[in-house]
């Protein structure tokens, strides 16, 4: 028996022109928060949904400054980035109830960075059992929720958050 996994949203990425302007800079400069899936804005960094996620709720903390490496950021930008990582794990914990998180930075193309020219920190919610044979053997990701649905749930939680939560 043949099994098929349909991921029609991937074709947009596969066929897209990747030689143009930086998508993270476009999101940083846009007033269309929902159109770019921007969740939060700080003074030096912003938080955006990954539109090609490894898992539901995959967020990225991104400096406004277009730089490739940590050595190019000042202390205030780095400190705010880590505060936003903390806020994001708190928010994702409240809304999505993951069992853990992968938080990381891929520095350079050789390290696996898809957008190696604009530094960003990944925050990926993880659940026990979310990696199975299809991810390991089939090199295919199964993401159970559309990015737009995750964005709406997280935005709603931000708008109704308790005063002492992120």
Query: What was the pLDDT predicted at 10?
Result: 62
Query: What was the pLDDT predicted at 147?
Result: 79
Query: What was the pLDDT predicted at 21?
Result: 84
The predicted model scores a pTM of: 0.76
Domains of the chain with CATH codes: 21-159 (3.30.428.10)
Query: What was the pLDDT predicted at 138?
Result: 47
What is the mean pLDDT for each group of 10 consecutive residues in the chain (166 residues)?
A: 57 62 93 94 96 88 96 97 97 95 90 85 90 50 71 86 53
The single residue of 36, 58, 120, 122 carrying the catalytic annotation is 120
Residue 93: C-alpha distances to residues 64, 111, 166 (Å): 25, 28, 11
Question: Which tokens in the block code for residue 135?
Answer: 């991810």
The C-alpha atoms of residue 98 and residue 69 are separated, in whole angstroms, by 29
Query: What was the pLDDT predicted at 137?
Result: 44
120 labelled catalytic: yes
CB 55 within 8 A of CB 125: yes
């Amino acid at each position: 028996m043949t099994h098929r996994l349909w991921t029609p949203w991937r074709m947009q990425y596969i066929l897209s022109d990747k030689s143009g302007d930086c998508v993270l800079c476009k999101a940083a400069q846009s007033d269309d928060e929902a159109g770019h899936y921007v969740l939060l804005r700080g003074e030096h960094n912003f938080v955006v949904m990954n539109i090609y996620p490894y898992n539901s709720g995959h967020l990225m903390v991104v400096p406004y400054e277009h730089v490739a490496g940590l050595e190019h950021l000042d202390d205030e930008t780095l400190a705010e980035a880590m505060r936003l990582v903390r806020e994001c794990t708190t928010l994702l914990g409240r809304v999505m109830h993951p069992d853990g998180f992968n938080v990381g930075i891929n520095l350079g193309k050789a390290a696996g960075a898809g957008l190696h020219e604009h530094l960003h920190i990944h925050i990926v919610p993880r659940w026990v059992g979310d990696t199975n044979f299809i991810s390991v053997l089939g090199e295919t990701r199964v993401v159970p929720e559309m990015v737009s649905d995750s964005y709406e749930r997280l935005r709603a939680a931000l708008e109704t958050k308790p005063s002492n939560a992120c």
